[in-house]
Amino acid sequence: NSSPTLVMELKVWVDGIQRIVCGVSDQTTCQEVVIALARAIGQTGRYILIQKLREKERQLLPHECPLESLAKCGQYANDVQFILQRTGPSLAERPSSDNASQAPERTFIRASLPIKARPVSTEVPRSREPKKSMTFNLGPMGSRAAALLGSARGFPGNSASQQDELVYLEHLIRRNETELGEEEFWQSELQLEKECERERQEKVRSLRGTLEEYTHKIHELTTKTEALEQEIQLEMAGRARRAREAPADLEDMAAKMKRELEAKAKQSAQLESSLASVEKALEEAERNLQDQNQELEELNKELRQCNLQQFIQQTGATLPREPGLLHPSTDSPPRPSAKQFLGHPRNLQNPLVSSLNPEVVSTRQSIWR
């Protein structure tokens, strides 16, 4: 005896309207709920069931059980909402030419989570009473199976085993349709992966071209860097060589300047000695000049005295003697007196006049006149 199955109601929002699906158990899958709702609204197509908890939404997979997912929410189960969303037409409604070109829409859950295959039961399910809320709309194949089931039930001699076989066939049809949908999905996934692979190949080729370009640039920059390093090394070697040669040149220049300074010092000493000699000669010449000037003054005095005496002799008057003549200077050597010059007129005219400067001559001429 199997344990009784818990049957509940499931509230699902369809196009903003809340609908109630009856007869839902913990074994009822999301796909069965979707088929029941699609048949109830009378519209075939591709549908997904979304579980929404506050601001978070999650798409249920076809083999998931809504009641199990609801039980996992715990105390937040009352805040959970199930939303039926139509994603496109059914396979029967699509034209045959679009089957290979158009891929089904990808959703977050279907693109990221693999579909878990349901275990196939070999037992024939027990017959149960059909529920109005769980009638399925499976498209053309489901309609044909339902028609076969209705026609089989219409025969008067139908046994329970035939009813169970028809239910089992209906279950197989649903499972096959699910597998076909999954195959179509994985075909579309494969196509998308091929497209992504082509894009990645293109990107890899582009990156390789860019890498080769940058490698060429790096090679050029490396060559330039090596050339610059060689130039820097040559420049540093030249500077080091010049630095080694510089001290010898400086020593030569210093020695040369020292010799020049010594020569200049000697020349300066010679010039100083010559200047001292010149100064001494100049002082001596000044003294001689002073002596000559003094002697010239005395001679002028004596000449005037002689002229005066001659004039007195000619006129017969007496002339007093000058005191300077009575006491001759002992510093100067004895000189001939004016009388001696007067005794010899030639001496007075020629030698005396020749030894006098032009000033004395002019004075003498003025006196004689």
For 301-336, how does the pLDDT look when each residue is reduced to its tens digit (9 = 90+)? 999 999 999 999 888 755 555 554 444 444 555 555
The domain boundary residue, chosen from 102, 135, 168:
135
Query: Which one is predicted more confidently, 156 or 58?
Result: 58
Q: Is 230 part of any domain?
A: no
Domain end (from 119, 135, 151):
135
pLDDT band at 15 (very low <50, low <70, confident <90, very high): confident
Q: What is the mean pLDDT of residues 340-356?
A: 46
pLDDT at 223: 93
Q: Which domain holds residue 360?
A: 338-369
With respect to residue 342, please indicate whether it lies within any of the assigned structural domains: yes
Query: Given a cut of 70, is residue 159 above it in pLDDT?
Result: no
Q: Which of 104-108, 124-128, 243-247, 343-347 has the highest mean pLDDT?
A: 243-247
Nearest partner of 24 among 83, 82, 66, 62, judged by Cα: 66
pLDDT for 98 beyond 60: no
- Whole-number Å distance between alpha carbons of 134 and 7: 12
Residue 186 lies in a domain: no
CATH number of the domain encompassing residue 100:
3.10.20.90
Nearest alpha-carbon partner for 313 in 337, 335, 339 = 339
Name the domain count of the chain.
2
pLDDT confidence of residue 334? 54
The pLDDT of residue 164 is 76
What confidence score (pLDDT) does residue 102 get? 43
Q: What is the pLDDT of residue 40?
A: 84
Pick the last residue of a domain from 82, 107, 135: 135
Is residue 26 situated within a structural domain? Answer: yes
The confidence score (pLDDT) of residue 110 equals: 36
pLDDT score at 253: 84
Predicted confidence (pLDDT) at residue 178 exceeds the cutoff of 70: yes
The helix/strand count (H/E) of the chain reads as 11, 5
Residue 5, in any domain of the structure: yes
C-alpha Rg value of the chain to the nearest Å: 75
Beta carbons of 45 and 90 less than 8 angstroms apart = yes
With respect to residue 356, please indicate whether it lies within any of the assigned structural domains: yes
332 falls within a domain: no
| Residue 115, pLDDT above cutoff 60 | no
Strands (E), 26-127: 46-53, 56-59, 80-88
Q: Among 91-100, 126-135, 171-180, 198-207, which stretch is predicted with the lowest mean pLDDT?
A: 126-135
* pLDDT value at 226 more than 90: yes
Q: Would you state the pLDDT for residue 258? A: 92
- Please report whether residue 240 resides in a domain: no
Q: Residue 211 corresponds to which tokens in the numbers above?
A: 């890498």
Query: Parallel, antiparallel, or unpaired for β 7-14 and 46-53?
Result: unpaired
